[in-house]
């Protein structure tokens, strides 16, 4: 069993008005709270590739904090400054750049369906100035249901909680529903409008007879993962999440693309652009590494015994 450590860190260096010719300007835009994510992995990957903040590059990290107005203001600043490349994390950040008509190169990550969202023309030939790494979230919805049912034999009714305003969540629920038909279990959707609705949503799904939960996080809720894990535990609902830090902070299970891989590959694409390759010529990439996380302390508190074969597959085990 392997345990991967993620330490959320933020390096913030506002772009200077002037820089030397050797320095590349890199903007990193997150629609939520980058300091609550392992953003340091991206900064480290850029440094390894020769883009060292304050030495060979000027890097800024910007967070929209879940506020549309703030995000739009940050995007307007990027459009005015015209950095050599912008790394956009999460769908809302990418869509805001697209809507604003930003013409400088953009590398995205953690975007579920870049073609369906109108960000690129195709995966193989993105065209324009956007390329990046997909998140493949929709196809993983069914996999999360399978893992949850493998951990909880006999479960017949599963709730799926998601923010109705976050792009891609409806497609994720559809994938879960299709997988549920194959497994012969019932799933039902509980949509909410934001962080203020979460506690009530937990009460409602418990009253509706949910035995377990699939929680689709987003840019606003990722920073509240401890609160969400505590709510799931207090309602006696084993839950599966998208990201490993959600398990580290008390979630029962998680399954999704490896965060470090996504950050490193985004850095690699940005590096190729900084060295002269057009984003139009860089195909959109799919994740290749996936991480299963299990929190044994939460399992014990819930009175759940994880099957040994499932536990042996875990990349992250929190004890």
Whether 1 shows a pLDDT value over 70: the answer reads no
Q: Write the CB contacts of 312 (distance below 8 Å, at least 6 apart in sequence).
A: 1
Match 């962080």 to its residue by tokens.
Answer: 195
Does 19 map to a domain? no
What is the rounded CA–CA span in Å between residue 189 and residue 145? 13
| pLDDT tens string 88-134 | 999 899 999 999 999 999 999 998 889 988 999 999 999 999 999 99
pTM: 0.82
Higher pLDDT, 21 or 146: 146
Report the domain count for the chain. Answer: 2
Domain holding 97, by residue range, is 24-135+258-288
Q: What is the mean pLDDT of the chain?
A: 89
Whether 11 shows a pLDDT value over 50: the answer reads no
| pLDDT tens string 263-316 | 999 999 999 999 999 999 999 999 998 999 999 999 999 999 999 999 999 999
What is the rounded CA–CA span in Å between residue 295 and residue 250? 7
Whether 168 shows a pLDDT value over 80: the answer reads no
304 and 197 share one domain: yes
SS3 state of residue 171:
helix
Higher pLDDT, 52 or 36: 52
82 and 126 share one domain: yes
- CATH number for the domain that contains residue 203: 3.40.50.2300
- 256 with 280: CB under 8 angstroms? no
User: In this predicted structure, what is the pLDDT of residue 17?
Assistant: 40
113 and 196 share one domain: no
108 and 215 share one domain: no
Does 82 map to a domain? yes
234 and 280 share one domain: no
Does 8 map to a domain? no
Does 236 map to a domain? yes
């Amino acid at each position: 069993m392997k345990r991967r450590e993620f330490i959320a860190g933020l390096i913030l260096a506002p772009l200077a008005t002037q820089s030397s010719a050797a320095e590349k300007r890199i903007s990193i835009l997150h629609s939520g709270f980058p300091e609550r994510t392992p953003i340091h992995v991206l900064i480290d990957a850029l440094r390894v590739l020769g883009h060292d903040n304050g030495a060979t590059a000027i890097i800024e990290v910007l967070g929209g904090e879940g506020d549309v107005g703030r995000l739009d203001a940050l995007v307007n600043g990027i459009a005015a400054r015209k950095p050599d490349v912008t790394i956009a994390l999460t769908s809302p950040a990418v869509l805001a750049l697209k809507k604003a008509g930003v013409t400088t190169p953009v590398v995205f990550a953690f975007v579920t369906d870049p073609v369906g969202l109108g960000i690129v023309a195709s995966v193989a030939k993105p065209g324009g100035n956007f390329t990046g790494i997909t998140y493949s979230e929709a196809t993983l919805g069914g996999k999360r249901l399978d893992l949850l049912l493998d951990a909880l034999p006999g479960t017949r009714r599963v709730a799926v909680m998601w923010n109705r305003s976050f792009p891609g969540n409806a497609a994720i629920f559809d994938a879960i529903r299709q997988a549920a038909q194959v497994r012969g279990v019932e799933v039902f959707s509980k949509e909410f409008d934001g962080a203020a609705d979460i506690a009530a949503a937990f009460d409602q799904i418990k009253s509706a007879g949910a035995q377990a939960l699939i929680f689709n996080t987003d840019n606003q809720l990722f920073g509240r993962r401890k609160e969400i894990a505590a709510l799931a535990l207090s309602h006696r609902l084993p839950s599966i999440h998208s990201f490993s830090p959600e398990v580290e902070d008390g979630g029962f299970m998680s399954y999704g693309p490896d965060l470090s891989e996504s950050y490193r590959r985004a850095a690699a694409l940005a590096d190729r652009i900084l060295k002269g390759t057009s984003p139009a010529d860089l195909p959109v990439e799919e994740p290749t590494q996936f991480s299963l996380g299990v929190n044994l302390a939460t399992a014990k508190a819930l009175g759940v015994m994880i099957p040994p074969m499932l536990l042996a597959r875990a990349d992250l085990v929190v004890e």
